[in-house]
Amino acid sequence: MKNPFHLAIPVHDLAKAIDFYEDMLGCKRGRATDSWIDFNLFGHQLVCHFVKKIHTENTNPVDGDDVPVPHFGVILSFDEFDILAEHLKNKNQSFVIEPKIRFLGQPGEQRTMFLKDPSGNALEFKAFKNLDSLFST
């Protein structure tokens, strides 16, 4: 698979999310905190974020940023990420989170950027230092 997708979704109960995604669907659990859990959804990264109320303006703290939830995106190579980031900057695209490195020096180190489409849907594009760490703990 060239570019596995990344999808973050709001959930009301992380334990029930674990029951369903890990136990029911057989998804392997990856990194997690008390507010979010990564799952390997058939080679794609699905992140369940705990929220008290589901609406379009939720955020969750991740490595110092307020990340919009829900959001979706594509995992790119470093070269593809850099080209897209430069293209968006040249087009004066505003970012919810400017292109940056997240989890520096940790498993899952990645480049990331967030923007919204004209309808307000949040998108994240990311590139991992080591794609093998996509579901590392």
Could you write out the DSSP letters of every residue in 69-90? ESEEEEE--HHHHHHHHHHHHH
What's the pTM? 0.68
**What domains can be seen in the chain, in order of their start residue?**
5-133 (3.10.180.10)
Provide mean pLDDT across the span 72-86: 89
In this prediction, residue 34 has a pLDDT band, given cuts at 50, 70 and 90, of very high
Confidence (pLDDT) at 83: 93
Please name the residue ranges forming H helices in the chain: 14-18, 78-90
Highest mean pLDDT among 4-13, 61-70, 71-80, 113-122: 61-70
